[in-house]
Amino acid sequence: MKQRIITGLGFGIVFIAMVLLGGWYFSAFVVVAATMAMIELLKMKKIRALSLRGIVGLVSMWLLLVPTNWFEAFAPIQYTKVETFIFLILVLLMLTVLTKNQFTFDEVGFVVVSSVYVGFGFHYLIMTRDVPEVGMWLVFFVIALIWTTDSGAYFIGKAMGKRKLWPDISPNKTIEGSLGGVGAAVVIGTIFYVSYPVFPNYITALLVILVTSVFGQLGDLVESALKRHYAVKDSGNVLPGHGGVLDRFDSLIYVMPILHLLQLI
């Protein structure tokens, strides 16, 4: 427990500092985190990061991760990100032939979906921080909601939880805890909004609170399902007592694209 608390505090301080600094500091931090998360996913599938298929997977993820203006400024080609990503998918399919099906179609699908999952998730985290004037506060708002939901679900679930939420995936989570987490997020999110109104009205803020709390929990379940399928306890061991990078960012990278696609951010 002591190790978990120390690691959690250290990680929290570093992450908050990067959000405060913003700019290249935050973007570089996110690129490193996304790269480590992608490597953890590849490892679950027993794909080495430095193998040809692992490198193509990392490049695919980086392609989706970087903002479009970065790609256009530095890429020495006249293709869009989407066109380049499609080309890399074709390369992966070609590898199934060149390796005589040692690299399978199933693995191609895993690499592609993993690239989208990690790449777009962290991409929208960068894009949120880059929102003029309120980007920093938007990131803090979403982080506060996710942390509050996790804490509320844990403590209320411990005190009142009886009915299992999804025992086949995460046997310790309860319906009462999940609802308690949403309730806690509404309270903290409302206080945050009153203190610093980052949205034009409270209705929008409430929608963001509910979407973040509900889909944040779903994002955690998605990663739990992945780990259960590949029979691993944690996505990695880079954060002692907490697991891997993906374990820490699973809710955040699942929520961020949804908030942007719903045009709430």
Q: What is the pLDDT along the chain (265 residues), one digit of tens a residue?
A: 566 677 778 888 999 999 999 999 999 999 999 999 999 999 999 998 988 888 989 999 999 998 877 776 676 667 778 888 888 899 889 988 988 888 888 889 999 999 999 999 999 999 999 999 899 999 999 999 999 999 999 899 888 878 888 887 887 889 899 999 999 999 999 999 999 999 999 999 999 999 999 999 999 999 989 988 888 887 877 776 667 899 889 999 999 999 999 999 8
The 8-class DSSP code of residue 162 comes to -
| Predicted TM-score (pTM) of this structure | 0.90
Return d(Cα 215, Cα 218) in angstroms, integer: 5
pLDDT score of 241: 61
Q: Residue type for 108, please?
A: V
pLDDT score of 242: 64
Return d(Cα 37, Cα 34) in angstroms, integer: 5
pLDDT score of 72: 67
pLDDT score of 144: 95
Closest-CA residue to 7 (of 238, 260, 256, 213): 238
Closest-CA residue to 142 (of 226, 249, 23, 13): 249
84: tokens are: 């380049």
- Say if CB 121 and CB 253 are below 8 A apart: yes
Return d(Cα 105, Cα 24) in angstroms, integer: 37
pLDDT score of 134: 93
pLDDT score of 4: 66
Return d(Cα 186, Cα 78) in angstroms, integer: 46
- Residue the block writes with tokens 């009205």: 201
117: tokens are: 């999952």
pLDDT score of 251: 94
